[in-house]
Chain A
């Protein structure tokens, strides 16, 4: 990394002597960090943590959003109702599938694409740009278009398989064994270009002369990848992994809502979609809030686990 450095002295001595109380406080290491952190902490406090605490409170109550109706304290009733409920069980199970399947699809699959595009050098720019396009377009509309493409009544994809391979594929969105994979593939479609871009950015820093040197020593492609590229890419992979896990559950919301509404037989719903339905469709605010808390704990547990397992490896490899 090249470091730009402003020529000459940054601050003249004369100016330094005039530094007042504020300037001294602002560079005093005891206070300075807090000045820089204050706006973010204030914003997070007001617009993230306070609403979360409020949600936690609502999860212990029974309320339907009606200002004229008292909020009744219900203890852990909502959690009790949630745990015994088949929709919640299905949503939790699917949430685990969404997260687990996202790792090969959204975290690992982009890597070979990125490496290939990187190996092309400049010529890879066009590929890079094309695969990034889905990131830019409204997911609602993309979902509608896929609904047409997958339509068992003359949709392009079923027609293609029928005519080219003679396969009759039924309605993949109404089949309990395929629907969740359609949602997963579609959300992969949406995010893969973005992840490829992130990996490419990680790859750009790899010095190509090392690669050439390894080749001179007779290393084959696979060896170069395993011995050089993969280790250097690990921190990027870690980053992609963390945000994929956190965002995948939200990211599949739109295709679930438009393609399946959680069906067939509750095989595509997830905790996020369930919470949305409780809160904004049936106004069971307490139950929705309880679902939010569970979802948070779920994400927290997975993230901590990943950080514990992977942080060590990443550091080790640095």
Chain B
């Protein structure tokens, strides 16, 4: 038995021993693409064809766990050259991992200017850029055009402001009995809350992430509106993101506000069931739209030398408008470069599939996701999540519930992150 075990063990070793090191440079890239994995791999293959001495090893990790995987790989000093990092974690990664500035050599990295400048802001520290846009989503209203018609509304003229959203939801509920509207809530713990208050003109967090600022008048007004949607107006059924998403796709919810990245799934689910409409994220009163991006950016971890050169070459390749637009078309993420429709292929695509237009229109209105200070974020986000639960449960008006929650968050952040 022992001998047999030993033989088996030897067999495993033989089976799993890595191939001999090639002369090539290998770039290790972490990503969370699944439905888009093939499209992404095709782009990487094209890059390899252009650079025969570079191999790109792509490692998949689910989006919920990719941060942990990259962090663990770095801790174990395993090779990481390029990593997809969720937007809200970028500042954290800047402070806590050995990420390198991508534009260390300014002249050689002029290609970064191909990206929309506000998209680069998320990874910008002074003049250095640490993250390039890659899989950015923006929140949109998805709506069930059939229910609009049934309720006597014009699906060609979707609501533009929150007031109109709420009014449309009320009409639909009265006329059809189908629930009105919901906005994603817990994605990355508190993205929905951040979105709601930032679009209303409030800051969510201070720039260093050490102070919550959404107890401003605008922030309270936005959260009061969210509470009213669930209670006073009664247009928002209380549920979670997965349930709303399933209900919308099953025709049980008239409007659902979530990332542009959901377009492809929603389009497939709607086929033969109802006509899908897409509109821009609602405006808060007469304020300009201000939406934080969701999704992830690419950060650079290669040590200086061959591997870094190869990794930068890959990043340059991905920034080319033709490639970036193709990636956008195949994935549903926002196009990332300046004037994406200048590319005839993209313009033709938008003509043939106009549902992607709202996402492109919102590119200029995108602001960087707010990010928390390194310590105390879990407690703080839990307080935010509990605050929203309390608001929906109608435990008191926003003006009473928000200030103490913000004060508690700031107390915790100050304690956990001494200056």
Contacts and interface: CB of A to CB of B under 8 A. Distances in A.
A107 to B, nearest CB: 31
Given A151-B246, A152-B239, A265-B390, A281 B67 contact: yes
A151 B379 CA distance: 28
Contacts of B389: 174, 176, 263-265
Chain B interface bracket (under 10, 10 to 19, 20 to 34, 35 or more): 35 or more
B238 A171 contact: yes
Given A148-B246, A152-B243, A280 B68 contact: yes
A81 B247 contact: no
B378 A281 contact: yes
B97 interface: yes
B243 A282 contact: no
Interface stretch (A2-10, A21-29, A62-70): A62-70
A87 B74 contact: no
A259 B393 CA distance: 18
Interface in B221-264: 237-240, 242-244, 246-247, 250, 252-253
Contacts of B179: 153
Contacts of B239: 151-153, 171, 173-174
A153 B96 CA distance: 42
Contacts of B240: 147, 173-174, 259-260
A67 B242 contact: no
B213 interface: no
A85 B379 contact: yes
B237 A171 contact: yes
A67 B72 CA distance: 10
A266 B382 CA distance: 7
Nearest to A174: B238
Interface in A270-286: 277-278, 280-284
Contacts of B390: 265
B253 A153 contact: yes
Interface in B298-340: none
A86 B379 contact: yes
Nearest to A69: B96
A262 B382 contact: yes
Most buried by B among A173, A262, A281: A281
B243 A266 contact: no
Interface in A49-76: 64-69
A153 B252 contact: yes
Given A171-B239, A174-B392, A66 B74 contact: yes
A153 B247 contact: yes
B244 A153 contact: yes
Interface string B70-110: 01101101000000000000001000111000000000000
Contacts of A281: 67-68, 189, 378
Across the A-B interface, the 9 shortest Cβ-Cβ residue pairs: A153-B247, A280-B68, A264-B389, A154-B252, A65-B75, A153-B252, A282-B378, A151-B243, A64-B96
Given A171-B243, A174-B392, 13 more contacts: A66-B74, A67-B98, A148-B246, A153-B239, A171-B237, A171-B239, A173-B240, A174-B389, A264-B389, A280-B65, A281-B67, A283-B68, A283-B71
Interface of A: 64-69, 81, 85-87, 144, 147-148, 150-155, 170-171, 173-174, 176, 258-266, 269, 277-278, 280-284
